[in-house]
Amino acid sequence: MAGGWAMLPILICSAIAIAIILERFWTLRRSAVIPPGLTAQVREWARNRQLDPQHVETLRQNSPLGEVLAAALSVRMRSREIMKERVEDTGRHVVHRLERFLNTLGTIALISPLLGLLGTVFGLIRMFFAVMVSGVGDPLKMAGGIGEALVCTAAGLCVAIPAYFFHRYFRGRVTDLVVDMEKDVIVLMDELSAHAEAVPTRAPRPRRESAAEQETV
C-alpha cells in the first residue's frame, strides 16, 4: 500500500480485468463458437429431409454458429432475401454476446492510467505539504511522497497495458469468428436455395373440352 489510497481502485480494476480475460478466453474458443463439422452435418440434414423442429431447436442451443444456422433453417421455405434478413438479425444478437465484457475491459484500459496519474498528483501534493511543514531538510518525507507518486503511476500502467492488449486481441478474435460464421451460413443458404430450386413443380392438369367444343370441332 505504498502507493496510497489510489492503489485500491487500481487493484479492483486489475482483478476485474483478469476475470474478464479468463472468461473471454474460455468463451471465445473456436471449438465452442464454431464446432467443427457442424455445417456439414446441417447440410446432410437438409439433403435427407431431417429438418424437423426438434433438430432445429437442438441446433439453436448448440453454439453461436448453430443459432445462426437455425435462424436460416427456420425460414428456409421463404425467399432468400427473407432468409438473409433473419440471419442478419440473429447475427447481431450473437455478435453482441461474443463481445460481452469487452467494453468493460476497454474502460479499464482507459481509466487505469488516469487512476495512476491521480495517485501521482496526490503523492506530489503530500510531498509539497511535507516541504511546507518541515522544509527541505527532511528527505524521508519527500521520498515518501515521490515514492507514492511513482508506485501509483507504475501500477496504473501495469494494469492498463495488458488490459488494452487483450481488449484489441479479443476484438480481432471476434471479427475472425464472425467472418468464419458468415462463410458457413452462406454455404448453407446456397444449399437450401439449390434444394428449393431442384424441387419439381407439379404440371398443370390439361383442361377437358366440353361437349359443345367437341361438336364444333
Q: Answer yes or no: is 41 within a domain.
A: yes
60 vs 197: which has the higher pLDDT: 60
Q: What is the pLDDT of residues 40-87, one digit of tens each?
A: 888 888 777 777 788 788 888 889 998 998 888 888 888 888 888 888
What pLDDT, on a 0 to 100 scale, did the predictor assign at position 94? 93
The answer to whether the beta carbons of residues 45 and 55 sit under 8 Å apart is: yes
Task: Tell me whether residue 203 is in a domain.
Answer: no
* Banded pLDDT at 217 (limits 50, 70, 90): very low
| Residue 144, pLDDT above cutoff 70 | no
**Is 119 domain-assigned?**
yes
What per-residue confidence (pLDDT) applies to 62?
A: 84
**184 domain residue, yes or no:** yes
Number of domains in the chain: 1
213 domain residue, yes or no = no
**CA-to-CA distance for 96 and 128, rounded, in angstroms?**
49
Residue 145 is part of which domain span?
7-197
Flag whether 51 is in a domain: yes
pLDDT at 7: 83
pLDDT of residue 204: 46
The answer to whether position 216 is within a domain reads no
Nearest to 58 by CA among 49, 50, 67: 67
pLDDT over threshold 90, residue 107: yes
Q: Is the pLDDT of residue 206 over 60?
A: no
Asked if 83 contacts 2 with a C-beta cutoff of 8 angstroms, the reply is no
Dist CA 127 CA 141 (whole Å): 7
Residue 125, domain member (yes or no): yes
Least Cα distance to 89 among 153, 14, 185, 163 occurs for 185
